[in-house]
Amino acid sequence: MMQAAGVPFPAFVAYPAGAPETYRGAVIVLHEVWGLGDEIRRVAERYAAEGFVALAPDLMGERAVPPEEAALLQGQLVHPDPEVREAAQPRLLELMAPIAAPAFATAALQKLVACLDLLDREEGVAGRLGITGYGLGGSYAFTLTIADARVRASVPYYGYANFPVELLGEIACPILSFVGEDDLALFAALPALTAQMKEAGVEFTAIAYRGAGHAFANEGNPGAYRRDAAQDSWKKSIAFFTERLT
């Protein structure tokens, strides 16, 4: 259990098998809108197996969706029948409403700064701090990269970055961003975001995968998961963090 602004919150941490002097740095791993579940814990463990201390905080708290409902909604949102997809929208909007509140964003950022504080003190990390995230977590990977210059490498997966150029100019590290071409809103926004990043002087690389949509890297979401895109983006993420943190 961790604390941010005096409020406790859960987090999952995975350590590499070797001694601290062999660590390759640390990566914060941020979950999708469904909350801190088994899928994101597995991702953290995979980072640990690659030599990075991996910390996955719970940003949702009591707003987290029960695993059974999360699995049902994820299936409905990518269902081939448009009526099934449409029927899932009211519940999705209900879930998203509190997340859009300023109080949620403030609390989430406080948690993320607390994660950086903890990892910054971790033996063997030596300030080599990165962040990655998926969906909601991808959006907050962008946010923390703007808010805290201690982040040395950022890898958002299908996250939104609706920030003015002035704020993007606060980014002090390279970003590797992944999106699926079938994630229509994000893919359509990519050219403008790329231009804004260039104007802000940010080292920004975006990779889009054909035939992939939102949540393509989530192996726990069979309807959205695309193995080739997931495996390629994983290899590129590890190579990016290795280059920038070790």
Q: What is the pLDDT of residues 9-53, one digit of tens each?
A: 999 999 999 999 999 999 999 999 888 999 999 999 999 999 999
Q: What is the pLDDT of residues 206-243, one digit of tens each?
A: 999 999 999 999 999 998 999 999 999 999 999 999 99
pTM of the model: 0.94
- Res. 63: pLDDT tops 80: no
Packing angle, helices 136-147 and 102-121, rounded to 10: 70
Among 165, 170, 156, 245, smallest CA distance to 197 is for: 165
Position 64 scores a pLDDT of 73
Alpha helices (runs of H) in 24-135, residue ranges in sequence order: 38-49, 67-77, 82-99, 102-121
Sign of the alpha-carbon dihedral angle for 22, 123, 108, 149 = negative
User: For the domain with range 2-245, which CATH number is right: 3.30.70.260, 3.30.460.20, 3.40.50.1820, 3.40.309.10?
Assistant: 3.40.50.1820
DSSP conformation class of 213: -
Alpha helices (runs of H) in the chain, residue ranges in sequence order: 38-49, 67-77, 82-99, 102-121, 136-147, 165-168, 184-200, 227-245
pLDDT band at 65 (very low <50, low <70, confident <90, very high): confident
Mean pLDDT value of segment 170-193: 97
Q: Which residue has the tokens 């990518």?
A: 78
Domain boundaries along the sequence of the chain: 2-245
